[in-house]
Structure 1
C-alpha cells in the first residue's frame, strides 16, 4: 500500500467531514490548485482508500428508531453453513451490519427497525428461517452515546 503524505491525510479528513466539498473548496483548504487535488482524490479512490461517497440519513426520521444488536451462534461451523448464513444475511434489509466473530458467538448483527413488534416479526419470519442457527441473543439500544462515521487518520 502506498503511503499517505500529510496533504493526503488532510484531504481525507476534509472529505470525511463533508464529502460535498467541491474540488475548488478542497484546493483552497489544502493550498493547492485544482488539478493536483483532483489527481489526489482519483489516486485515493483507485487505491481503495476512498471506497464510496454516501449521504448519512437520520434513521429515526425514516421510521427506524430501534437499534438492536443480535448475537447469533451456529449449530455447525462447516464452510457451507457459514457461507449460506452470510449470503442469506446480505438479503435482509433490516440488517445494517454483520460481523463474523471469534469468541462465544459466531456473528454479531446490527439491526434497525421501527418497533419491537417489527423486530419480533423480523426474527420470527426472516432471521429464524436461516438454516443452522443455534441461538439468538438480542440486546436493545436505550440511548446512542457516540456514533462516529469517520476514521482517525494519523
Structure 2
C-alpha cells in the first residue's frame, strides 16, 4: 500500500528508528511493552507514535494477509493502457475488481500498473478479460510472477534512515 503521492518529509531521529524497527519486528506488542523494551516512558512512546501517525509515517495497523493462503496463489502484474481522458474513470472501476490488490498510475509502457491475484491461470484470464471490457481500457499486458525474491519489507529502509539520522 505504498502512497507515492506528495507527502511532507518528517525528520526521523534515533528513537523514532528504534520505535519503527520494534513495530516492524514485533507488530503485536503493546505500547506498554514497547516502552519497556525501548527503555522510554509510555507517554514518550505514545507521543512518538501519535506524531508518526499524524505525519503519515505510520499508515495502519492491519495484519498482513496472504492471498495465496486465501486461495489466490497466482500473482500477476497487469499493465493497462487507457484512452486519453479516462484515467480517473478506469481507476475508479478497478476498485470494484476484488482480485486487484494494488493499482498505480505509472509512466512508461501503459498508464496503470495493477497487482492482481487469482485462484489459477484460468481465473487470471477471467480477471484480465474483465479489465479489457472496462470502458476506457485500450489494452492490457500481463506478467505472471513465478517466485517472490524479496518480500515486501521496510526494515532495511528504516535502518538506513536511522543510520543517516545518527550522522
TM-score, with structure 2 as normaliser: 0.83
Mark the runs of 5 or more structure 1 residues left unpaired by the alignment.
Answer: none
Matches within 5 A, 1:62-77: 62-74=70-82, 76-77=83-84
Match of 2:11 among 3, 6, 11: 3
Matches within 5 A, 1:1-154: 1-74=9-82, 76-78=83-85, 81-124=86-129, 126-150=130-154, 152-153=157-158, 154=161
Aligned structure 1 segments of 4 or more residues deviating by more than 4 angstroms: none
Mark the runs of 5 or more structure 2 residues left unpaired by the alignment.
Answer: 1-8, 162-167
User: Per the alignment, in what secondary structure is the counterpart of residue 111 of structure 1?
Assistant: strand
How many positions carry a matched residue from both structures?
A: 150
Per the TM alignment, residue 73 of structure 1 is displaced from its structure 2 partner at its CA by 1.2
Find the aligned partners of 2:137 and 2:26 in 1 and give their Cα distance.
Answer: 41
User: Per the alignment, in what secondary structure is the counterpart of residue 70 of structure 1?
Assistant: strand
Find the aligned partners of 1:138 and 1:26 in 2 and give their Cα distance.
Answer: 43
User: Per the alignment, in what secondary structure is the counterpart of residue 143 of structure 1?
Assistant: coil
